[in-house]
Amino acid sequence: MFNSKIVAFSKYVPEKIVTNNDLSEIVDTSDEWIFSRTGIKERRVSTSENTSEVCAKAAEASIIKAGVSPDEIELIITATMTPDYSSPSTACIIQKLIGAKKAVSFDLSAACSGFVFALCAADKFIKTGAFKNALVIGGEVTSKVIDWSDRGTCVLFGDGAGACVIKQGKGGGIIAEDLHSDGERFDSLTSLYTPVNNPYHKEGGEGFNRLTMDGREIFNFATRKVPESIAAVLQKANISSEDIKYIVPHQANSRIVEIISRKMKIPMDKFFMNMDRYGNTSAASIPIALAELSDMGLIKEKDKLIITGFGGGLTWGSAIIEL
Ligand code: UT7
């Protein structure tokens, strides 16, 4: 068995910054409400690029950092809930955009937990020897599915992408994982519903692509399940939170992170947060945060990190990565 060593993290976010004050001109909200309830100050919004394009920019930066050429990439997994098309996969379009001609490419749908799920899936292909390397991307243009008239959701989300390259290696890699789904509560967060509509059946009603969310339900679920999941990976790896350099949670809401920190008695400075600048970028939030930690020189070889995601599905999960 091989290990999957993560060799490069990168991110790309669209240029346009939309502040809380900007949003207060669109819906009945305020900087005070948004910041005090979520920790978000501003987010990036795409003014032209679709999901494949933001992902391709993060991916290109990541393969350059990793020192691999595009045609050496063997596998691309893209986690997104805002694909350009339902077919082809966003990963296939990224493959074309970056020239990774030989890569097997597909998307993985697990909403805001998508990057954790995708990294763990890629890890299995590497560990079994099926592929020698993989490009794992989390990317979203949530702005195209947001209901811009719903103040309960439009203030939360942002656009962007993060990517990493993993390679067969010895030692380190993903040393523990804990992944879950609960389809019983699938309707807590939805977007892009396509009804059955053909000459033999009319389901009635229109399809929709707008995102709907029961924020309170997700808040309660996250503060219950994420601590359990972090505890589970620590136990599986047989280490304590003191052995962890940073915990990188899905960047949905700083209050969720504060509750997790309190419940687990893990100090807040161990949790990396950047939702103030990017909002909730769904599957992109964890890889964007990892890229920032790396760019800021805050992590180094041998450091152990916990990544932990939660969101629509419902889905949630954590992994311990040794760099
Ligand atoms: O990444 C996917 C996973 N999603 C999440 O993690 C989201 C988790 N949930 C949350 O982060 C929080 O539940 C929210 C930030 C979405 C909402 O915060 P909350 O403290 O749960 O507020 P609420 O929904 O209970 O709403 C409280 C009040 C309501 O007014 P009334 O009924 O008390 O008069 C809302 O209408 O706040 C109102 N409200 C707003 N007011 C100003 C809701 N959105 C806004 C807004 N600006 N943007």
The residue-averaged pLDDT of 147-162 equals: 97
Which residue has its alpha carbon closest to ligand 1 atom 26?
A: 152
From the list 132, 184, 156, the residue with the least C-alpha distance to 18 is: 156
Which band of pLDDT confidence, cut at 50, 70 and 90, is reported for residue 208? confident
User: What pLDDT was estimated at residue 298?
Assistant: 97
- Cβ–ligand 1 distance for 33 under 6 Å, the answer yes
Here the tokens at position 23 are: 């949003």
Model confidence over 10-63: pLDDT tens digits?
Answer: 999 999 999 999 999 999 999 999 999 999 999 999 999 999 999 999 999 999
For residue 197, name the pLDDT band (cuts at 50, 70, 90): confident
Residue bearing the CA closest to ligand 1, atom 29: 152
151 Cβ inside 6 Å of ligand 1: yes
- Phi and psi of 267, rounded to 5°? -60, 145
> What is residue 147's predicted lDDT score, i.e. its pLDDT?
95
Average pLDDT rounded to a whole number, residues 80-97:
98
The C-alpha atoms of residue 104 and residue 37 are separated, in whole angstroms, by 42
CA 90 to chain centre: 15
The predicted pLDDT at position 315 comes to: 98
Confidence of residue 252 (pLDDT cuts 50, 70, 90): very high
- Across the chain, the runs of DSSP E, i.e. the strands, are 3-12, 17-19, 42-44, 75-79, 104-108, 133-141, 159-169, 173-181, 189-190, 197-198, 201-202, 212-213, 246-249, 304-311, 315-322
